[in-house]
Structures are given as structure tokens and as C-alpha cells.
Amino acid sequence: MGLAIGLVGLPNVGKSTTFNALTKAQNAEAANYPFCTIEPNKAVVPVPDPRLEELAKIVNPERIQYSTIDFVDIAGLVKGASQGEGLGNKFLANIRETEVILQVVRCFEDENIVHNEGSIDPIRDVEIIEGELILADIEVLQNRMERLKKQLKADKKAQPKYDLAEELSEWLAEGNLARTFPKADTDDYKELAKELRLLTDKEIIYAANVDEDGLLEDNEYVNALKEHAKKSNSEVIKLCAKIEEELVGLEEEEAKEFLESLGVEESGLEQIIRKGFEKLGLMSYFTAGVKEVRSWTIKQNTPAPKAAAVIHNDFEKGFIRAEVISYEDFIKYGGEAGAKEAGKMRLEGKDYIVQDGDVMHFRFNV
């Protein structure tokens, strides 16, 4: 699955409805019963970026191509998932293959929609999900510790690794996430977390699914969720999955007017997509020509030749230099010619670290 965001949540919290809206297609069945999603649905979602429209106004291209990220709709977790309940092992494996967790949490009352736990309590719901992820991580750690214990008989240098794993296991057993571990910034921890692909080391975005009234003013459930999120320095983004799904079929201008009528400036899903892009450590640079204005996705801190390879491998192999104009200068001076005339085009070599929003043209020879 690569760099993907996994949607998780208890059954019936609006997760598949959210996924439907995210993908602008009804390809994740939403039903009023648990486990309607068995195989993880996957979708490639464009990242909203108004900068592309501004570039297009100057260049007037035939088409606009946005950056994209992958979302995976993973079936609802239940208590005991770490022990295989409710197809739990399969679900946990699917989560392990993603880089960021988007946890959909129900934050509204509606007697017509069954809740798997019988009542609305977002903190309980979050703790059920995270408790199962913690238990799964503890099991992985204990298996690693068993191997290290055998290794210690022949190699005493393994002791620090064993001690770290034991300390982390105790931290998790207290109900904490791995990403809040006091030694999470150390190289030894990072190596261990990467090796074991710990579930609770992943970044979390909480999607607070509210009703229409909850969009304007935070209700008690949203407030409680925000307090919980502070413990792990996580984001909470509010959305109404039902309204987001209604927005799917509307033209851009209609959707904007609809949101304004609700007193909302921006779709919750647009916020989630952008925040997810950031949490994945991704950014965009642009190419701007008459054929297309396009956003290219790269990891943050990527050198120019590696960024060029995203377009074509030959661009990296034969890289000579990059012609670079910052987005701000491209707009300010009315395009490439104006930026050149103002001395705002730079020639950058192999060591140049591409910046978000750079408008680039690569020179290469193979």
C-alpha cells in the first residue's frame, strides 16, 4: 500500500460514508450494520491546492493535474481484534501497511443509527481502537524480546536493545501509545519502531463525525476528543460525513455556496486530505506548460535529481540542472518570462533541496 492513510474506527461510526465522500464515488458500501466492509477499499484522492488554479490562470493549459494520496478504508475494529475477534488479525495487518491513521469517531446522537457499543462515547470508542493497537504492538514487542533473549546468550551487545524493548513494552502496557514514548526521538527507538512497524507509532488524525449543528459549534463529544488528542499531540478535524457525501455530486461553485449556507468555510474532507498529505511528509513542486499545469509529489527534503525522477527516471540519470522559480515569484511577475526578466529564475544543481511550491524545469542529457 505504500504511503497511504488508513481509515479506522468502530463499526457504524460513519467511516465508509466518509470514504465514499473522500473518493467522490460510492465504492465503499455504507450500511447500518457491522462488518459491511471486509476487504480494504483503496482510492487515490486528489489533494486540493488552489495554487494550481492560479498558475493555470497565467499559463492557460489544456489540463490541470493535482498531487494525490492513497486512502484505504479498513473494516471496523472491535474489542478483541488483537486476538482475532471480528476478523481482527486481517484488519490489523491492513493498518500496519499504512503510514498514517485517520480514526473516524462518532460525535453525534441519532437513535436511528445503531452504535456497536450501545451508546455515544467518543473517548471509549477511541480507547477501544487504540487499546487493540497497543495490545498488537505489545505482542510484536514480546516476540522480539524472546529473540533478543536468545541472542543475549551469545552476544551481550544486544542488551541495550532488549532493555529498550522491555521499557517500551511497559510503557504500552500502561495504555500509552508508542509515539508518546519518552525515548521516541532516539535513533535506537526509531530503528526498533521501523523494524517492528509498530501500529501506535503512526501519526493519528481524528475525524470527529458530527451532525449539522456540530459543524458550527463544538459539542461535548468534540471537546472531549480534542482533550484526548492533546495527549499524543494529534490533530482533530471536524466533519459531517453525511453532508460531505451530499457535496459529492455538486459543482464546485454549488458546493461552496452550500458550505457557506451552513456557515462553514471549508469542507472537513479537504482539511483531512491536506493534513494527511502533510503527515505523510509529502510536498509538491509544479511544472507549468501549455499542455498541463501539474503538481508532482515528493518527500520533504528531496534533492533536485530525485525530484526530477518522479517525472521520469532519465531526468535523474542525466540531470544537468534545474531552472527554478518560486510560486510567489511566478505569480507576482505573471509567469516564466516575467520572472526571468526580473531575475527571479535560479539555476540549481544536484545538491538543491526542492521547496514546496517551486515551479521547475529540468535540463538533462542521457
**Tens digit of pLDDT for each residue in 189-218?**
999 999 999 999 999 999 999 998 889 899
E-strand ranges in 268-354 read: 282-288, 292-299, 319-325, 346-348
In the block, cell 486540493 appears at 48
Give the DSSP letter of residue 353.
B
Place of cell 477511541: 126
What's residue 113's pLDDT?
Answer: 72
Using the predicted structure, report yes or no on whether residue 34 has a pLDDT greater than 50. no
**Max mean pLDDT range (141-150, 248-257, 351-360):** 351-360
* Tens-place pLDDT, residues 99-119: 999 999 999 988 777 666 667
Which domains occur in the chain, in start order? 4-279 (3.40.50.300), 301-364 (3.10.20.30)
Question: In this structure, are residues 16 and 104 in contact, taking their beta carbons and an 8 Å threshold?
Answer: no
Helix (H) / strand (E) element for 15: namely helix 15-23
How far, in Å, CA of 87 to CA of 91, rounded? 7
Query: Which three cell numbers, joined as nine digits, stand for 184?
Result: 521516541
Q: What does the alpha-carbon distance between residue 15 and residue 73 come to, in Å, rounded to a whole number?
A: 8
pLDDT > 70 in the chain, percent: 89
Q: Is the pLDDT of residue 84 over 80?
A: no
337-363 residue pLDDT tens? 999 999 999 999 999 999 999 999 999
Hey, CA dihedral for 143, 145, 148, 152, is it positive or negative? negative
List beta partners, residue 144.
none
Q: How far apart are CA 114 and CA 120, in angstroms?
A: 10
In DSSP terms, which residues pair with 73 in a beta bridge?
7, 41
- Give the pTM: 0.85
How many whole angstroms separate alpha carbon 288 and alpha carbon 295?
A: 9
Please name the amino acid found at residue 10.
L
Mean pLDDT of 155-183: 93
User: What stretch of H or E contains 278?
Assistant: helix 268-279
178 phi, psi to nearest 5 deg = -60, -35
User: DSSP secondary structure string, 193-209?
Assistant: HHHHT-GGGSEEEEEEE
- Residue 236: pLDDT above 50? yes
